[in-house]
Chains A and B, each alone.
Chain A
Amino acid sequence: MLTPEEIKEIEHELAHYEQPAAATIEALKIVQKHRGWVSDEAVADIAAKLGTSPASVDSVATFYNLIYRRPVGRHVIHVCDSVSCWVMGQTRLSDALQQRLGVKLGETTTDGRFTLLPICCLGTCDRAPAMLIDQDTHRDLESVEDHRLDAILEKYK
């Protein structure tokens, strides 16, 4: 069941489009904002709300990189793996993160704190390598000493 708050937000978006199904992506993002991810049940609820089918909502949901169809940790770390960051040594950053968190890319730490994912160019190539944790962009991570990484991760409980 969608919560009244989710419904209100979805209806707000609906008002912006000529066709209800156009709000599919917004609806998915709204649900994800509140719950962290989008369950099968939520897919069906969104479909009912927008007058489309669960299959077509899921078809959209699974297409986009930033809709999570499986539960994620409390915080999601997106490490940029595109070219400028790569040139600037993002591989080291990504390796370091995997080591510190004890997970591989695409996995969630056992304590449910972090999910580690790769992401395309974050648009901050002049300060590469970069990563996004939740909504915060962390830049200039070329030389990732452990204590700096720890200090960053510390902020996310």
Chain B
Amino acid sequence: MTLRTAPPDRPLTDRIRPEHEPYNLREYEKHGGYQGLRKALKMAPQEVTALVKNAGLRGRGGAGFHTGVKWGLVPMDGSAKQKYIVANGDEMEPGTFKDRLLLEGDPHQFVEGIAAAGYAIGATVGYVFLRAEYFLAAERLRKAIAECYAHKLLGEDIQGSGFTFNLYLHTSAGRYICGEETALISSLEGKRAVPRAKPPFPAQSGLFGKPTVVNNIETLCNVPHIVLYGAEWFRSISKSVDGGTKIYGASGKVKRPGAWELPMGTTAREILEEHAGGMRDGLKLRGFLPGGASTDFLTADHLDLAMDFDTIAKAGSRMGTGQMIVLDDHTSVVGMLRNLEKFFATESCGWFTPCRDGLPWTERILRDLEAGKGRPGDLELLQQQTRLLGPGRTFCAHAPGAMEPLQSALKYFRADFERGIAGTAPAKVA
């Protein structure tokens, strides 16, 4: 077993060999794997949590909640006999493909992360909630888990530490809403993935009514590194107040779509122009969704903003998953919105009214506008819906997520919508 000589500055992807099989357990350990977990097991669980808090790790699932704070909500006084940690690998946010990369490329890193997280909150069972279509990731993860069981890195009394941790893989049957953490818990219980009211929060009463923490795959992958190299180091590899790196990405008509691990707070311009190679020839950037389908459009004016949670929030959007979807000037804005809202409408679980019945209406209006068959009043109606389905009005964050691209598109590209009112030429679809 060898330690890496210097702490890496791209810890998450350091051990990923593109287009190759991931490291097996032996190789992974040779490259410093499971050192983080071993170290964690020698610490008190609360120390691990404190470390993660100090490192400034914020959830990579989209909401950016402070991971250490979330863990700190779990009762540690022995009052709960059973606790759970759940990895959110549902990754159905359109435009997002980072967790897949991490699981396919380095499954052991994730297993190490969730085991350490489980230790920190006192969970003896972990579940990986993986979306159904990630067959390769599932296969590689299964293999990694089996290796760990065979080498006492999972199961009873891990490495003689007295800590027992069982990890099970659950593959989803497909529904975007499964990614919402309380819906995910319902789904793990074998039910319809309907979100739950908070309070009580999952940390008090989650899976099977027991204290539960749900964390994104990328979030968990960071944990071993933080334990191993410390909070200071984690903050040092970031360009922003939030610690660590981030798997950024870009899709759409850019020259080199892809995903890259970069310091947290890298600017949108750097991601787009340096890493994605800029727009395809002949196309201009009209706007971009900074972190998945459920984030507000930003425009070329925002390119110099640091892609971190607070900066992007201040600009009126959300960093979300940090994986940008790019809108070019040859693609119909209205068409793109219609596509987005159709997604949100069909992926509504059907539990509460504005989401279930409002989104299909939104989609139909957009369909009319796209076809140049809109009617006067339609834009006002859309505008009203962005308010009615917006934050604070809804049962969960699905509908507000659906409204984010719409409200921002109405703000930045209103003329495109106006052209869709009957009598004007239809906006051209790419």
Mark A residues whose CB is within 8 Å of B.
16-19, 21-26, 28-29, 50, 59-60, 63-67, 78, 81-84, 86-89, 91, 119-128, 132, 135, 137
Query: A24-B190, A81-B339, A123-B92 are known contacts; what are 12 more A-B pairs with Cβ within 8 Å?
Result: A18-B82, A22-B189, A83-B343, A87-B326, A87-B328, A91-B429, A120-B176, A121-B95, A121-B343, A123-B97, A125-B97, A125-B325
Instruction: Rank and list the top 4 A-B pairs by shortest CB-CB distance, nearest first.
Output: A64-B173, A24-B190, A125-B251, A65-B174
What separation, in Å, do the CA atoms of A21 and B193 have in the docked complex?
14
- A-facing mask of B299-339, CB < 8 A → 1, else 0? 00000000000000000000000010111100100011001
Q: Which residues of the partner chain A approach B253 to less than 8 Å between Cβ atoms? A: 87-88
Listed A/B pairs (25) with beta-carbon separation below 8 Å = A21-B189, A21-B190, A25-B187, A25-B190, A64-B173, A64-B174, A65-B174, A66-B132, A66-B172, A82-B94, A82-B293, A82-B343, A83-B336, A83-B340, A83-B343, A84-B251, A87-B326, A89-B430, A120-B343, A121-B92, A123-B91, A123-B92, A123-B134, A126-B250, A137-B133
Counting contact residues on chain B (CB < 8 A from A), the size range is 35 or more
Residues B184-210 near A (CB distance < 8 A): 187-193, 208
What separation, in Å, do the CA atoms of A134 and B134 have in the docked complex?
12
Residue in contact with A82 in the complex, picked from B127, B132, B323, B339, CB distance below 8 Å = B339
* B237 → chain A closest CB, angstroms: 24
B258/A63 in contact, CB under 8 A:
no
What separation, in Å, do the CA atoms of A87 and B189 have in the docked complex?
36
Q: Which residue of A lies closest to B135 (CB)?
A: A135
Q: Which residue of B lies closest to A87 (CB)?
A: B252
Q: Which residues of the partner chain A approach B347 to less than 8 Å between Cβ atoms? A: 120
What separation, in Å, do the CA atoms of A28 and B133 have in the docked complex?
16
What separation, in Å, do the CA atoms of A119 and B133 have in the docked complex?
10
What separation, in Å, do the CA atoms of A88 and B94 have in the docked complex?
13
B257/A126 in contact, CB under 8 A:
yes
Q: Which residue of B lies closest to A91 (CB)?
A: B429
B225 within 8 A of A: no
A87/B325 in contact, CB under 8 A:
yes
What separation, in Å, do the CA atoms of A29 and B430 have in the docked complex?
37
Given the known interface contacts A18-B208, A67-B173, A82-B94, the answer about A126 and B259 at a Cβ–Cβ threshold of 8 Å is yes
What separation, in Å, do the CA atoms of A126 and B96 have in the docked complex?
9
Q: Which residues of the partner chain B approach A88 to less than 8 Å between Cβ atoms? A: 251-253
A65/B133 in contact, CB under 8 A:
no
Residue in contact with B94 in the complex, picked from A50, A63, A84, CB distance below 8 Å = A84
Q: Which residues of the partner chain B approach A63 to less than 8 Å between Cβ atoms? A: 175, 192-193, 349
* A96 → chain B closest CB, angstroms: 16
A29/B293 in contact, CB under 8 A:
no
A83/B325 in contact, CB under 8 A:
yes
* A18 → chain B closest CB, angstroms: 5
